[in-house]
Chains A and B, each alone.
Chain A
């Protein structure tokens, strides 16, 4: 029997019970749509987190005090200077220590609580910050302990109700007067919090005027930029060796922590991978339920059409002919459910993205060819798996018995 004939016959018998076939297909549609939408959202989240981390620069190291040690020695400006030593750390390109604290910024009548970061000129090289107007913080600002400030766009908006034409304005930071020399370009919200709600001042001014410290030249953190992304590993080792020597620590009990954007990337991709698998798995359960629906309907169909099966066998149909006929019917049900489900899943993830964008975070669902292929194959597999038993039951009917049935 030619394949086209069986296909046409299968289509015909599916279309006889439109309501029944439609509901059966719906089960698969919901399952596949859920899988597609969940994988899309999972992959999209993964992609956008990866992009954010990569936008920090793939050759960046983050050095923090702490680590596994009991009494960690704070990181200091001296540590930062030591890391800068070309002979001891040839893989390091830039070192940017920062001092970070929460402060109140105010002008006449307006005030806002914000993050203050004391930075050196190198900060602008290692971090992806752009100046919308005015200038960056330069070496001379740091050496002269100048009371100048660069405002994040959100802070500028809070204090002045505008984000431009602010150079020369005076702002009080914890009561001390600073002169605005620039405004940062708006970076928007990220998974790590708003980049716009912060102010930048020279590191020296922050140390002297704004931050209370246990050690005179303590810094909160040191950004280290490796020469390129290949030398990240060696840069990490060099920095660790220098800090161990300075902090007089034995191997294995570092009182500092060095992480790279790559290690963040790995962590993030593990976490989002687990999330995607989890979402997809839950959605997969509904696909399984849809498959059971197919099996149920196919069993009913076989019973209803026992006489037809008997007649077909009487005129020469072999077992395999009957098996293929019924298997093809369940395959058609599951496959059409799969195709509709993929389209619906696409629409759903688009809708969720719209809702998320309206509430401020963008997901950018990513529906890969992989997940489409997987959903198609999976729905085919469901059709075969749940169609095989009913089809086999039909194929094994004895012609005499089948013809006798009512």
Chain B
């Protein structure tokens, strides 16, 4: 029996723009196996970002059932969602989203500040930075790091709490092809070594080739699925 980390059933999301209702997702059902690498592809406006926000617990679905890592998260309140994001989910963004004034170390330990976990935060953050190959850059600020290095810091931040899933939203979108490749290799290594489920959101077919399974989205619905 497969260990599903994500079980979503008939998820919909409707945005209200004034009095007009705009459906962004029209009933998406999806299951993701633990430790797998999945790519979600689709043109802009297809609903893939909305799907990632819902699966990443940044937002609540309008209807549908969503079980993440055994927890039914569709009905949780804001604080409970924040706790889920903190413990179970890591995000890697296209624009890195690092705090500009904080050192690499402080950026990486940020999630630890919002968790109740005890222990040496600095040491944990140092280990995470070493895991992404930045052990010698821990006191640098983002503006003293290259794009690839900044994305590595963001990845270290994503893995600091040993999440079940990492969501990477166009992780190579702001990088040159060489650093992009390095970042993808790093994400794949972490997936293999730590068993972290990886979900890539992208419109770049080259990135999708890293995935075991590619899901195509158009107009708020899954239109096609390819497995390796």
Contacts and interface: CB of A to CB of B under 8 A. Distances in A.
Given A311-B97, A311-B99, A319-B78, A1 B85 contact: no
A317 B81 CA distance: 10
Interface string A316-340: 1111110000000000000000000
Interface string B147-190: 00000000001000100000000000000000000000000000
Interface string A1-29: 11001000000110010000000000000
Contacts of B115: 316
A399 B59 CA distance: 8
A12 B100 CA distance: 12
Nearest to B50: A400
A312 interface: yes
B87 A308 contact: no
A318 B78 contact: yes
A318 B58 contact: no
Contacts of B59: 398-400
A311 B113 CA distance: 13
A335 B40 CA distance: 50
Interface string A379-399: 000000000000000000011
B176 to A, nearest CB: 23
B53 to A, nearest CB: 5
A198 interface: no
A314 B79 contact: no
A289 B86 CA distance: 40
B14 to A, nearest CB: 14
B31 interface: no
A399 B113 CA distance: 18
Contacts of A177: none
B110 A312 contact: yes
A399 B78 CA distance: 10
Contact of B93 (A1, A13, A403): A403
B114 A315 contact: yes
A307 interface: yes
Nearest to B53: A400
Interface residues of A, number: 24
B220 interface: no
Interface in B62-120: 78-79, 82-83, 85-87, 91, 93, 97, 99, 101, 110-111, 113-115
Nearest to A317: B114
B93 A315 contact: no
A141 interface: no
B82 A313 contact: yes
A315 B58 contact: no
Given A5-B113, A13-B101, A403-B93, A316 B82 contact: yes
A406 to B, nearest CB: 10
A271 to B, nearest CB: 55
B101 A16 contact: yes
B114 A316 contact: yes
A316 B87 CA distance: 8
A316 B79 contact: no
Contacts of B85: 313-316
B91 A321 contact: no
Nearest to A16: B101
A311 B87 CA distance: 15
Contact of B97 (A2, A5, A316, A403): A403
Given A1-B113, A399-B58, A400-B58, A315 B78 contact: no
Contacts of A12: 101
Contact of B58 (A2, A16, A314): A314
Given A400-B53, A400-B58, A318 B97 contact: no
Contacts of B113: 1-2, 5
Interface centre among A12, A13, A16, A399, by most chain B C-beta atoms within 10 angstroms, is A399
Contact of B114 (A1, A16, A310): A1
A308 B99 contact: yes
A108 B115 CA distance: 97
Contacts of A312: 110, 114
B101 A317 contact: no
Contacts of A400: 53, 58-59
Interface in A211-242: none
A139 B66 CA distance: 109
A307 B101 contact: no
A124 B186 CA distance: 101
Closest 7 A/B residue pairs (Cβ): A316-B86, A316-B114, A315-B111, A311-B97, A318-B82, A1-B113, A399-B58
Interface of A: 1-2, 5, 12-13, 16, 307-308, 310-321, 398-400, 403
26 contacts: A1-B114, A5-B113, A307-B97, A311-B97, A311-B99, A312-B114, A314-B58, A314-B91, A315-B110, A315-B111, A315-B114, A315-B157, A316-B82, A316-B83, A316-B85, A317-B114, A318-B78, A318-B79, A318-B82, A319-B79, A398-B59, A399-B59, A400-B53, A400-B58, A400-B59, A403-B97
